């Protein structure tokens, strides 16, 4: 039976106040809580687990390209129900590099369904899923919101410009997962206990093709002051939007 590979990313919790160090060349991880990227967890991983529970897949493996400090995040995926995990021991984050590593692993180990998240909330590339499909020369269905499997044939609903579309595709296949695929799960006690003993394999990178690098970061400028307008003087707001903000 078919095996599913779920690439997961390790990202700062959504409430994190972002800061940088080292002359604004590095993300400051001090005090930051890391989580599985929400799209990877809530949609890709949970849907993959549901497919396995329905007897449609034999095994769900999570894969991550990152350093040892991501292991706690991989174990969270175990607690949710992933069978095993692979970490490619390299910091990334160039999307080309990450995708090439995952594609190589998937090819060598015979994964027929790769379920990535639609994007990371850290680098917002929306790239890795489609790149994996490119490296493996496989079809891609992006922004999947519903996914079902009958034997070897997937039926998928996904977002397109201005609407949605239903397609069918035989495996092997890459999908990028968006809201709608599944509901968020909370790990249960059994999952949490089992997470410690599930196999996490650490392997070295198979290439060193990094085509982009980040030179520096800048925090987005906040807004200075909010001009309060009296609710009985709404003409004033419309006037300001026209003459000051020049947006209407």
Partner 1 sequence: MILVYTEINKGKVKKASLEAINYGAKIAELTNSTVTAIAINADAPQIEEMGKAGAKKIVSIKNDALNSNDSMLLSATVEQIANAEGAKIIVFSFDITGKAVAPRLSARLKAGLVAGAVDYPTINGNNLEVKKSVFSGKATALYSINSEIKIISILPNSFPVKLGDNAATVVEFTADLSNVNSKIVFKEKKSNDVGGMIPLPEAELVVSAGRGMKGPENWGMIEELAKELRATTACSRPVADMHWRPHHEHVGQTGVAIRPNLYIAIGISGAIQHLAGVNGSKTIVVINSDKEAPFFKSADYGILGDAFTIVPKLVEAIKKFKANQN
Ligand X SMILES: Nc1ncnc2c1ncn2[C@@H]1O[C@H](COP(=O)(O)O)[C@@H](O)[C@H]1O
Ligand Y SMILES: Cc1cc2nc3c(=O)[nH]c(=O)nc-3n(C[C@H](O)[C@H](O)[C@H](O)COP(=O)(O)OP(=O)(O)OC[C@H]3O[C@@H](n4cnc5c(N)ncnc54)[C@H](O)[C@@H]3O)c2cc1C
Question: What is the footprint of ligand X within residues 80-139 (CB under 6 A)?
Answer: 92, 95, 98, 116-117, 119-120, 123-129
Contacts of 218 (CB under 8 A, 6+ apart): 24
Q: Is 14 in the site for ligand Y (CB under 6 A)?
A: yes
> Quick one: what does residue 139 bind among partner 1, ligand X, ligand Y, none, with the CB cut-off 5 to 8 Å set by partner type?
partner 1
Helical pair 128-136 and 95-108, crossing angle rounded to 10 deg: 50
> Quick one: what does residue 162 bind among ligand Y, ligand X, partner 1, none, with the CB cut-off 5 to 8 Å set by partner type?
partner 1
Q: Residue 190 Cβ, how far from partner 1 at the closest point, in Å?
A: 28
**R_g (Cα) of the chain, nearest Å:** 21
One character per residue 17-56, x = contact with ligand Y (rule: CB under 6 A): ---------------------x------------------
Q: Residue 230 Cβ, how far from partner 1 at the closest point, in Å?
A: 8
Are 76 and 36 a contacting pair, CB within 8 Å?
Answer: yes
Q: Residue 203: beta bridge partners? A: 88
Q: Is 202 helix (H, G, I), strand (E, B) or coil?
A: strand
Beta strand 26-27 with 20-21 is: antiparallel
Tell me which residues touch ligand Y (CB under 6 A).
Answer: 14, 38
């Amino acid at each position: 039976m078919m095996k599913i590979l779920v690439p997961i990313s390790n990202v700062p919790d959504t409430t994190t106040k972002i800061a940088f160090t080292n002359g604004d060349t590095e993300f400051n991880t001090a005090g930051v809580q890391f989580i599985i990227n929400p799209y990877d967890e809530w949609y890709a991983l949970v849907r993959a687990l549901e497919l396995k529970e329905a007897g449609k897949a034999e095994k769900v493996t999570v894969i991550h390209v990152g350093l040892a400090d991501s292991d706690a995040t991989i174990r969270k995926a175990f607690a949710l129900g992933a069978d095993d995990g692979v970490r490619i021991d390299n910091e990334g984050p160039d999307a080309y590099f990450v995708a090439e590593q995952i594609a190589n692993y998937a090819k060598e180990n015979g994964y027929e369904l790769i379920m990535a998240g639609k994007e990371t909330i850290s680098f917002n590339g929306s790239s890795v899923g489609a790149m994996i499909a490119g490296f493996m020369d496989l079809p891609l269905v992006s922004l999947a919101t519903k996914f079902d499997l009958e034997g070897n044939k997937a039926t998928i609903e996904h977002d397109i410009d201005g609407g949605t579309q239903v397609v069918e595709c035989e495996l092997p296949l890459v999908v990028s997962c968006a809201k709608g695929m599944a509901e968020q799960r909370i790990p249960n006690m059994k999952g949490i206990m089992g997470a410690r003993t599930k196999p996490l394999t650490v392997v070295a990178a198979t290439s060193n093709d990094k085509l982009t690098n980040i030179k520096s970061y800048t925090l987005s400028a906040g807004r200075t002051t909010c001009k309060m307008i009296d609710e009985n003087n709404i003409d004033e707001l419309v006037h300001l939007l026209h003459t000051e903000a020049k947006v209407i």
